[in-house]
Structure 1
Amino acid sequence: MALVCEICCKHFSTQSSLNRHLKNVHKKTQKEKIIVAYNFEQFDSKCLEENCNTSYRFTAELRHHLQTIHNKDMETEVLNFSDITEFDSWLNDICKNDTLGFFRHKRLDEKTVYFSCNRSGSYKPKYQERAAKSQGSCKIGSKCTSQIILTHSTDGRYCVIYHKTHYGHAFEVQHIRIPKQTRIDIATKLTHGIAVTRVLDTVRNNFVEDKLSRTDLITRKDINNIKTAYHINIQDGVRHENDSVSVDLLVQECKEVGNEILLYKKQGETFSRLQDMDFCIVIMNKVQENIVQKFGNSVIAIDSTHGLNMYDFELTTLMVMDEFGEGFPAACMFSNRIDTVVHEIFFEHIRERCGVLNPKVFMSDITNVYYNAWYNVMGGEVPNRLFCSWHIDRAWRTNLNKITVAEKRKQVYQTLKILESMHKTLKYHYLDGKVVKRLDKGITAVLKYVRDKIVSRIIKISKGINNCHIQDIHKRHRAALTSTYEIIFNEANVWTIQLNNTTYVVSKKDTACEVPNCQLRCSFCNACVHEYECTCTDFYIRATICKHIHYIILNTRSNDEPRISPEVTLTTTAETLQCLRTLAKSCNTQDSTKHKIQEEINKMNVNINLCKEHNLQPLVLPHILKTMKTANSLLSRSNNESVTNSFPSISSEPSNKKLKKQMSFFSTKKKSKKVKVHISKPSGNETVTISSTLDINSDHDYL
């Protein structure tokens, strides 16, 4: 370990020789503070200045070195707080306003607490298999000079020494943690039952022009992490701890509000054509009935969904297509059975309410269960039968071969998938899968979709991108590392590879990628999806860098070619600023409305003072007064609105009354059981028989 004199930069091998040097040469006594400089790799408090490869044991020594040797301005501020709550509020404000982050050191002595910049330290991955974050590690590999020292004095006050100057990094918002108070606010909303979508919508309505904070970059994944950290479990629709009782209450509520239950068969009850252990519930209200009567003779779609509960009860939905060309759920059924019998019961209850239906199109999964039940109940053949979207997707890929141009073929398929994804997002994410009859609701959903796309782009610019496309590229890169192909060079930038009599042609385009700052690339191969082509199906269908392209690059690239770093540095570009301005204008709509109301009130006061009584018409004043009272009533109602909770009356029961066991749901799905085969040693008689049978000298009778 090399020791360096801080004054003359002379090197020493031991601490005693350095102390002797300081005492004899520089006349330093033991009472004076001695700062020892070590080699660069010894400690994390490193000096990053040019030609100064030193490190120090403590951050205070590094600050002293930078201030005295390199003339760095180390700003320090001393503050006093009356209680710890006041300090927490101050710390939250500086982290939020200055785009900073601090972490607390664990100490046994709580009288003095140290807070260091969250960029201090080095990242040491525990598992090499885990990919690095898209924005890179927040650790800079050394210690930052910014530090907060909190001391609890004997008089109860809190003294803070705040070293404000940061060193070794820039203020990058993607490396800052979500402020503690923001996380608490989000957790509070989640505990009150507010949906994640609504919480995210509230967070994204607070953009400030020309300034980006960590709160602005909150995603759905961040909110889910907060739910996990605070152990929040939102149980929607749970009316009782017992699932069976909760369903009974739900059925009762549905009947009261008009969501009529056509059939409710509990487990354990007797019902014709069903077993006692079967469960079945059919739901269809008056609106759904009218929709079926109006559109039921056009298109009927039957779809089943599993995985919505742990009892293996599957959801079957009958859908019709309305005048807007959208699917409308006309009837629903939960049942433990998916066979012709239970679907006949389902369709019979629909026939009793809506009459016989004769659709022109019947769409379902590839099975005859649904169609046979429909035919037995409704009667008559359906002219056209279609299959589910998975088969339509396969038909897309099959018919794409009719397009001769390969690049055009890929664009057509991607366009179809993007349109389908957008429609699903609007219907299920923003409209909650409900039919919207009002135009303003549809327009608002589209505007929110556009806003979230802008926010998503800001997040990608700020934090980098690590979506499913990048993951697919890296997955195929790992597959290429373990693959073995025979490479045949045909001509320049064209390779033919072969494995098990299967041949693929990989070619490199003559023109460079035309996409500015293309992010769909492999960080190891330093190639994007637009630079190479392959004749394999994976390249055209998935539109990604297949493993054949990775294999060619890995085996033909020289080791001198540079590789790009996965770390992304935040740069507030003109595009980001423009997005922020657009979002800020949309977020300030409500505030601007309040400002306009206040302006109108001020104008009214001015007009009242300027107006003379003889100029006012008698019928005008009552109308103005009525309008003002209505507006004041609306404001007062919104400020004083409260919710009162009523509790049910408590019934008295004998203390010795035995509890009645509640009925619970159970799965009726047959589970495959492994039969254990017990093998034992043969008995004495069996041993003699086996020996006689195996004796080659004896005669055997074979039947």
Structure 2
Amino acid sequence: MRDIIKCPKCNFQCKRSYSVGRHLLAIHDATEEDIEAFRAQLVASRALKRHGGGAWKCDKCQKLFASQRSLDSHIKKEHTKLLDPSDISLFPDDSSTSSPPPKIWKNSREEESCTSWMIRSKYSKENEFTNYYNCRHDGHYESVVQKLDKPKSIKLTGEYHCPAFLKSTKNEETGKITVVGFHGHYGHDLKNAWRSLNEREISIIIRMMTDGFSNSQIIKKCEKFPPENRLSYIIHDDLRYLRKKYNLQEGVLDENDLASVKKRVERGWKEDGILMFQEPDELGAGLRLVLMTPSQKELCLKYHHRGIVIDDTHNTTKYGIKLTTLMVLNGFDRAIPVAFLLSSSCTSDDCAALFQCVKNEIPTFHPQWFMSDEANAFWNGYNTIFPNNKSQRLWCRWHVLRALEKNCDEMLTKESSADVKKTISELIREPDRVKFDRGILSLLEFLEKDGTRGQKYAEYLRSYYLKHVEVWANCYRSKTPFHTSMYSENWHSALKKDLLHRKTNIRLDELIQVLLDGFQWVIRRLAKQMERQLKKACPRRNANLKNCQLAIDQQDHYIVTRNQNGDLELMKKESGDVYVVRDDLGCACFSEENVHCLCGACAYRFTCSCQVQLGGICCKHIHLAIRHCQENQSMEEAEDEAVPFRNFDVPGPGPQYFDVSDFLDVPVREESEKMYNLFSQSIDNLAQKMRMIKKKPGNEETMQKVLELIQQANDLFPKGKAPTLVSRRDSQGARKSARETMHTLPRRQKRHPQYSKKRGTRIASKHDPSICNVCNLRDPILPLDMNEIEPDALDTDWRRCVSCKLPVHFLCSSGSCPSCGDNFENYQPSDSEVDQVSSDSSDEMP
């Protein structure tokens, strides 16, 4: 219902403002200025009543309106300027003047006026076809969320009505195209960043995609355009949309997967980093592809001396291909992938091919530490290419503990399993070799007295781990930057989750592109974290800062003294436990990239006798010792670099940045489907049996017979001459995530689930365990010419080390002590009391 309008000079009332104006002219002899003032006052009152604000004024004619919609409608009707068709016709009457093609003209006009069109309507009449375009920012945007009872969504750039339009008419008989339009805009800014890509700009991007450029490379090229060009505002979302729309997957150069990889190899771009490519045979075996870009080579050359981490993973493509990643640590102890190996298998020869390519690029490749799991393929391949290397091999602590605890549950009784696992978990972190050897001998003596089950587990320890104790015990790996291979596990997890988006059946050429982009993704992420000073940028420095604050809070609980060797001894007042902190006078950390604490603590320079042994992280005892020295030393002592606990290095000034075939669907009969299912089950059972017999020695002949039978079965099928990649059996189904692919079977239950509920206690170390420190046996191995029933064979003669007092058999005492290198003396074992080993777990853990 309309409001009643009153005359400002009498009691006349009416519903129309026009009638009130005529009344003012006829009755009150009002002038035009009075009428305009009355109308302005009326509009202002209506605006105040509708939205509580003032009126809107037209910039063209200064007319007032009570609402924005009224102003938009006025501009669109009254101020739309039609251009003369003769001025913009693409085919003027003068035949001597050449006009550009319609698409080129339209694209150029859009770029000049920052205009983006959307088709409003199409219609045809006789031989003429007409398209009517509106400005892309015209009107309100009706979102689909209205179906969900949500409020309306309005585009930020399309809040007002824009009068710009374009009308094109094409005559099919004469070919003449006539365009009428208006390029004046209202209600939004004219910015190239807001304009849609036109056909010319899309064609430029499509050409770069078909040439094999990645999304990152395309964006890098487009950033070189001036700001007036729409291509300079391209982002990854635009490129992903175009690739999906035109079916141009990143890294795909051919419909055939293997042919696409060959084209990438043949073009020879340095950015691809392909150092080696070996085609697979007709059965899909023998594939080898090594990747190392120039940026990866630069980082590997800088950081390889600190150590490398290598591991493999599977289910990254739809083929049975394994991905092996070689990683290094930068100065902030963050892992960076520097080389990739894609191969049909992961044998010593495959790993040797990887390291041969690395040696060709970096002849001085000499890492101090070599971290991997217990598989020998990586280490054997490395030794093949670098036979005289001085690298120290390391096994992943997590994998070792997992294997030891699993077999402990399977072999031992539930009464002793928890105690043995507790003892092993503490011994593997023991930094002192003498204490470690004493604990191992005491553990073996405990197992020998635990019956048949314990003796079986003791033999398992001797056979698999005590012969290689230097690769998994902490006392042999002091100052290593890593104790586990979790760097590789973290990278493979991020690759499958963040880069592959949990897809496990992609093409090989797509995986190659993902790996190249993944390296850049890691570098950009590290650079952004360092720029924002996040804790994730350097987690180990953050842990050092926490331990330093913990040391400040607990410094009154310790007494610090210096021993004869110059080391600092920290005695805890409550328990009397003593921890020894040693200074090795300097570290090999970078001056601008390190994990040093603000007090100067560095895990690669200082060592502690406690069991808090984490790569790159100093325990609280080291921080206590350093702060004690800083508070009590003089200026002259601080300048002497030859004295321990002097001249502490503080963290660097800041971060460092890096530049870094289609298959036909054939109907399958029901009988064939049953036979194929039976075949798949038989293959799975055969593979499981092969995995079981390969663990036991002496089954090589059986495995060879099985392989010959399989080869005879393969000979029944026609052989292809061309090389091919064999897909996994599960790759043709629906897309699955990596977790779904790897965990298709139900989770196996633990044989003794009640073990985890019981917290074990450590088996105490004895002064004189009746286990030899050389052969790790209770009774010595007799010479071949001695009978077991002879009197000399029944009695065991013992000797022990002069320094560490660890016992050895007389037959094993030909050399020096393996723990401390001292000589032996005669001695007779006795049932002595156990060694008082500190078990203050609350003090050892920060």
- Report the TM-score, using the length of structure 2 for normalisation: 0.33
Greater Cα radius of gyration, structure 1 or 2: 2
